[in-house]
Amino acid sequence: MTNRDRGIVAVLGVLLIALSVAVALPGSSSGTAQTVPLPGESAPPPSLGPTPAADVVYREGTIGRPSSINPLTARTQADRDLAALVFSGLVALGPDGTYRPDLASGWSVDDKGKTWTFTIRDDATWQDGVPVTSADVVYTVNVLKDPSYTGPLGASWREVNVTAIDDKTVRFELTTPIGGFLQAATVGLLPVHLLDQAPIETLADDPFSLQPVGSGPFVLTSWNAGSASLVPASAANIPAADPSAGSETPTGGAGASPDAATSEPTPTATPEPTPTATPAPTPTAKGTAKPAGSPKATPRPTPVPTPTPVPTTRPEAQLPGIEMSFFPDAAALADAYRAGLLDAASGLPPDVAAQLAAIPGNRLLSYPRTTLTAIALNLRPGNGELRSPLVRHGLLAAIDRGTLIDDVFGGAATRADSLIPPSSWAFDAKTSRPVRFDPKRAAADLKAAGWKRLAGGWAVPGSKKPYQMALISPDRATNPTAMAAAEAVAKDWQRFGLQTTVTGLPPTAFVQDRLRAGKFQSAAIDVTIGLDPDLYPLLASTQVAKGGSNFSGIQDVALDRDLIHARAPGSETARKAAYAKLQARLVAKDYILPLAFRDELVVVSDRVKGQTIRELGDASDRFWDVLSWRLADGG
């Protein structure tokens, strides 16, 4: 893959699974990290801490291989999982949709939500013993803002101004206040003392990203292409911190704009095993099936800028160690789980996950996700036939989303009745308008918009020939789920009488050549809405320009106002009201056709205790409460 391809892949979160990893490394500047063995070699004894006995180590398997264990450059789910354990941000996810201090002991925000000030914990250290300072925060943010950085997190920080007040105090200035800034502040920090000379454009392949030194709850002691071993930071042989070892306090950062400081809703093509039909979960209604026995998430809205929390220290991990195992496919992972070699399995297709959970002594955890699978329509002036809300409503009503969820997602998804996840504090059930599968209503909508039904299909106003709908998608190798969803939508539209073709494209062609260039009619996309659902980058008029994510070309001044009001800071009541107004407009206009919000399924042994369900942005967010996990028979 070329550097250009990697940039496109990262920008859209297209995380290609590497089937093998070249891990013969040159000497690293990354402090105490263990030398990585070559694939097939046994790992050398870890030098950072004791190796726990196998029967007390938590063992999890996932699909794919690590290739860049760095929170800013992670390419695969395995990368993100390891980075979530090794690295920390200023704040972290808390229970019921809240945020809690992590590397920061506390924070404050001004009345307008424009200036945020964080204080770093006195006991926060890197895993080589160097104190975490504000210089590390400034360095990390400047990497994210640098034009050479092509990862998916850049849009969240590119226009935020960051200043180090002193070694332990850092300030962020937002030109336009953003209510969801704490979500952005969860990004894992990088150590400036190890990376200040590393070129940003090659950071993903820098030795540091294979031998990482983080400040998180676990230390990576060794890894190879098949597994990774981690021990709690509290048990590792981390040198005592030298209070005088901080980096020189830097200042600076770029200006800010309305596009700042929240996780951008980014169309993605996340690879995962293609789910199969006939899942084991028992459906309660078509398209809303949930695995039997799954714990329920009960998010509590916390949209108000959070006052300074009580300073805390990080609790010690109850797990004496973690062993992550990497598998090439779902079959190999399932076989290892059945053989009793694992305590948990993640990333499996829903039907396989449910089958494993049905084995006595196991259970299925179902985490609601903020990842939306949807159909984007080209609404630019040159595509007038799709610009009528009646047409878009008709196209949505012609999709049997219940069957699509059962067949494509194996029932492990919730029908999307708006662009805001139903698990979100911002979701408003009153303004949500479910669109049921109704071909007769779909036909009536198209006719009301001036379309005519011909013997060979549907014709747009003024045409005597059937309209040809071209539906593009990430190809099957990149994102099998998005491709399967596109094929399901195409079949429904074809049955409805709309001539439709599906084309799967590799990442660069899909994103750069078609979406960004506006050369498409319809596209199957995955959109990461985020835990604080900011739809501005996806829908605002200003985001049509080059580099923006409004690929549909939506231009609506009234919508822009609603998007700005919804993302602004305010009281819980005010923000909920703003989101209700925004959602009402979204469901009335159907700018984008929502299909489903998928769930993250993890099969776990009853031996594992302490996991709590909450809404996730990425699958790696499931480690938000890893410090409370324990093993019932020893740990």
pLDDT at residue 6 in the model: 38
Q: Are 39 and 210 in contact (CB under 8 A)?
A: no
DSSP string, 333-376: HHHHHHTT--SEEES--HHHHHHHHTSTTEEEEEEEEEEEEEEE
Two tokens at 338?
């059945």
What is the predicted pLDDT for the residue at 212? 97
**Cα 494-497-502 angle, rounded to 5 deg:** 30
First to last CA, the chain: 42
Average pLDDT (120-142) is 96
Better-scored residue on pLDDT, 308 or 631: 631
Residue 390 and residue 570 in contact, taking contact as beta carbons nearer than 8 Å: no
User: 239-253, 392-406, 549-563, 618-632: which has the minimum mean pLDDT?
Assistant: 239-253
Tell me, what's the pLDDT at 537? Answer: 87
**Residue 607 maps to a domain:** no
What pLDDT, on a 0 to 100 scale, did the predictor assign at position 313? Answer: 67
- Does the residue 445 lie in any domain? yes
Complete edge-to-edge strand list for the sheet that includes strand 104-109? 104-109, 115-120, 169-173, 161-166
The pLDDT confidence band at residue 297, using thresholds 50, 70 and 90, is very low
The tokens 């805390």 sit on which residue? 312
- The answer to whether residue 378 is domain-embedded is yes
Mean of all residue pLDDT scores within the chain: 82
**pLDDT > 70? residue 341:** yes
Any idea what the CATH number is for the domain that residue 146 is in? 3.90.76.10
Q: Span 595-604, mean pLDDT?
A: 96
CB atoms within 10 A of CB 276: 15
Using the 3D structure, point to which of 150, 176, 192 is the last residue of a domain.
Answer: 192
* Residue 366 near residue 611 (C-beta atoms within 8 A): no
CA–CA separation, 168 vs 244, rounded Å? 12
CA distance 79 to 84: 9
- pLDDT of the residue at 112: 87
* Alpha-carbon gap, residue 37 to 222, rounded angstroms: 8
The structural domain count of the chain equals 2
Quick one: which of 584, 539, 577, 576 has its CA closest to 557? Answer: 539
Among residues 162, 192, 222, which one ends one of the domains? 192
- pLDDT of the residue at 440: 97
Please check the confidence at residue 291 and state whether its pLDDT lies above 50.
Answer: no
Which of 157-161, 217-221, 349-353, 443-447 shows the lowest mean pLDDT across its residues? Answer: 157-161
Residue 210 has pLDDT above 90, yes or no: yes
Q: How many CB atoms lie within 10 A of CB 282?
A: 12
- Average pLDDT for 404-415: 95
Over residues 282-300, the mean pLDDT reads 38
Is residue 352 scored above 60 in pLDDT?
yes
Q: Is the pLDDT of residue 298 over 70?
A: no
Give per-residue pLDDT as tens, 42-99.
Answer: 333 334 445 555 568 999 999 999 999 999 999 889 999 999 999 999 999 999 889 9
Distance (Å, rounded) from C-alpha 526 to C-alpha 287? Answer: 18
Q: How do residues 501-540 score in pLDDT, each as one tens digit?
A: 999 999 889 988 999 899 999 999 998 898 999 899 899 9
Q: Does any domain span residue 303?
A: no
User: Which of 276-290, 397-411, 618-632 has the least mean pLDDT?
Assistant: 276-290
Neighbours of 391 (CB within 10 A): 23
β-strand 362-377 against 322-327: which pairing, if any? unpaired
At residue 414's C-alpha, the angle toward residues 371 and 553, to 5°, is: 45
Query: What average pLDDT score do residues 16-22 get?
Result: 23
Question: 324 pLDDT exceeds 80?
Answer: yes
User: What is the C-alpha to C-alpha distance for residues 337 and 604, in angstroms, rounded to an integer?
Assistant: 9
CATH number at residue 398: 3.10.105.10
Residue 606 lies in a domain: no
Please tell me what DSSP assigns to residue 130: P
The two tokens of residue 362 are 């196991």
Residue 24 pLDDT class (50, 70, 90 cuts): very low
Nearest CA-CA partner of 532 in 416, 422, 424:
424
Q: Is 503 helix (H, G, I), strand (E, B) or coil?
A: strand
Let me know if residue 321 belongs to a domain.
no
Element (H, E) at 270: none
Per-residue pLDDT, 51: 53
Distances in Å between the alpha carbon of 387 and those of 124, 381, 556, 602? 53, 8, 12, 41
- Read off the pLDDT band of 273 (50, 70, 90): very low
Reported as half-sphere exposure (CB side, CA atoms, 13 A), residue 538 has a value of: 28
Strands 344-346 and 58-63: parallel
% of the chain surpassing 70 pLDDT: 79
Query: Which structure tokens are listed for 139?
Result: 């360095």
Task: Tell me if 223 sits within 8 A of 66, measured CB to CB.
Answer: yes
Specify the length of the chain in residues.
635
CA distance 334 to 330: 6
DSSP-based three-state secondary structure for 80: helix
Q: Which residue has the tokens 């264990």?
A: 69
Share of the chain above pLDDT 90, in %: 67
Q: Provide the pLDDT for residue 508.
A: 85
287 within 8 A of 598, measured Cβ to Cβ: no
Q: 439-448 vs 480-496: helix axis angle to the nearest 10? A: 70
Q: What is the span of the domain harbouring residue 180?
A: 91-192
Sign of CA dihedral 123, 127, 128, 131: negative
Tell me the per-residue pLDDT of 534-587, one tens digit each, with 9 for 90 and over: 899 899 999 897 667 899 999 999 999 999 999 999 888 999 999 999 999 999
Q: What is the mean pLDDT of residues 305-333?
A: 78
What is residue 500's predicted lDDT score, i.e. its pLDDT?
97
Q: Is residue 105 part of a domain?
A: yes
**What pLDDT, in 10s, does the model give residues 356-407?**
999 999 999 999 999 999 999 999 988 889 999 999 999 999 999 999 999 9
Global pTM value? 0.79
Q: Is residue 217 part of a domain?
A: no
pLDDT at 634 over 50: no
Beta bridge partners, 616, equal 369
Positive/negative CA dihedral, 185, 191, 197, 199: negative
